[in-house]
Amino acid sequence: MGTDIKVNDKIIFYDGFCIMCSRFIRFIVFLDKRKKFKFSAISSDFASKVLSKKLDEKQVGKFIVYLSKDKVYKKSDAVIQIMIDIGGMFNIFKLLKIFPSKIRDIFYDIFANNRYKWFGRSDICDVAPKEIRDQFINK
């Protein structure tokens, strides 16, 4: 990937050790036919470097983060905005914005706090297949 990564790219920071999170990312890759998203494990040096400028240090690594055009989306806002940015029938996710993010994030936090228990945890960060590796930031 080199130095061609722009912080204004659409970058999804995810927990690469979480099995459910990795499946979600593979689903996004499957839907992202135009390859507009880039992906980075939240535990990577790149994520630490970029997110330390955007979030409180205690928040980094606690939830999914979506960086789009230098705007930071966290938790349920991140998931909703990712789906909206995919477009098409996923624009229906806009309807979820009628609920305040504080209420949506209660459900997000319940899911996030139990994701390892419910879906498992990998001992190693998931590695992308060759055909999509160019979308993953491995720094």
**Pair 14, 39: CB distance under 8 Å:** yes
Helix 101-119 to helix 19-31 angle (10° resolution) is: 110
- Residue 23: enclosing H or E segment and its boundaries? helix 19-31
State phi, psi for 13 to the nearest 5 degrees: -100, 125
Region 110-117: mean pLDDT is 87
Q: Could you tell me the residue ranges of all domains in the chain?
A: 10-124
Bridge-based pairing state of the strands 65-68 and 10-14: antiparallel
pLDDT tens track for 30-83: 899 888 999 988 888 888 888 877 776 665 556 889 999 878 999 999 999 999
Q: What are phi and psi of 23, to 5 degrees?
A: -65, -40
Rounded Cα–Cα distance for residues 11 and 8 (Å):
8
Task: Give the pTM.
Answer: 0.82
Q: Report the pLDDT value the prediction gives residue 57, as an integer from 0 to 100.
A: 66
**Residue 10's closest CA among 31, 20, 109?**
31
User: What is the per-residue pLDDT for 2?
Assistant: 42
Closest CA to 65 of 49, 85, 41: 41
